[in-house]
Amino acid sequence: MNILDAIINAQDGAAVRQLGSQVGLAPDQTTAALSALVPALAAGFQRNLQSQGGLADLMSALSSGNHGQYLDQPASLGDHSAVADGNGILGHLFGSKDVSREVASRAAAQTGLSADVLKRMLPLAATLMMGAFSKQSGRASSAALGGSGGGIAAMLTPLLDQNRDGSIVDDVTSMIGKFMKPS
């Protein structure tokens, strides 16, 4: 199962409904927004996983936090700590609020939804991704995170290999380039 499916299907869609109610979107709009935001977040995770110490940092974050709660108990998305957690995740993924704003802006153009709504949604989408990774890492050893047998890499690949050539390197490089270049 890829990361987007894991989020959308969590608790029979309760996370999507909770997220949508917090930002004023219907479930189908929330799903569309997640479909636009999650690939950019996934590219950030993939980039961090490939950096020196990235896998160890992710494993440390997963073991020290209670990220699974966001999928197990979607009402926890309404807590202020969920936004704070998400903003911390975004800081690690993108390093800049400007990149986060660009991600929201591009998702708005793709979905027709307000960029302001997507900016509010972005930290919560990041917490949901960490929740999905947390659930996955609970089922897999750290070796499986990067292996072909499953884990986080297997959840990210379907979202990142946009041209379906079996390699995500070109796709991630292109995606990151779009977010990092000035408009």
pLDDT of residue 143: 42
Distance between CA 15 and CA 7 in Å, rounded?
7
- Which residue is associated with the tokens 């990235």? 54
Residue 20 in contact with residue 29, Cβ under 8 Å? yes
Residue type, 41: L
Q: How far is CA 1 from the centre of its chain?
A: 14
How many domains is the chain built from?
A: 1
pLDDT of residue 31: 96
pLDDT of residue 98: 92
Element (H, E) at 150: none
* Domain interval for residue 97: 3-180
- Output the tens digit of pLDDT for each of the chain's 183 residues: 588 998 999 999 999 999 999 999 999 999 999 999 999 998 888 888 777 877 777 777 777 778 889 999 999 999 999 999 999 999 988 888 999 999 999 999 999 999 999 999 999 999 999 988 887 766 544 444 444 444 555 555 555 555 556 554 455 445 445 444 444
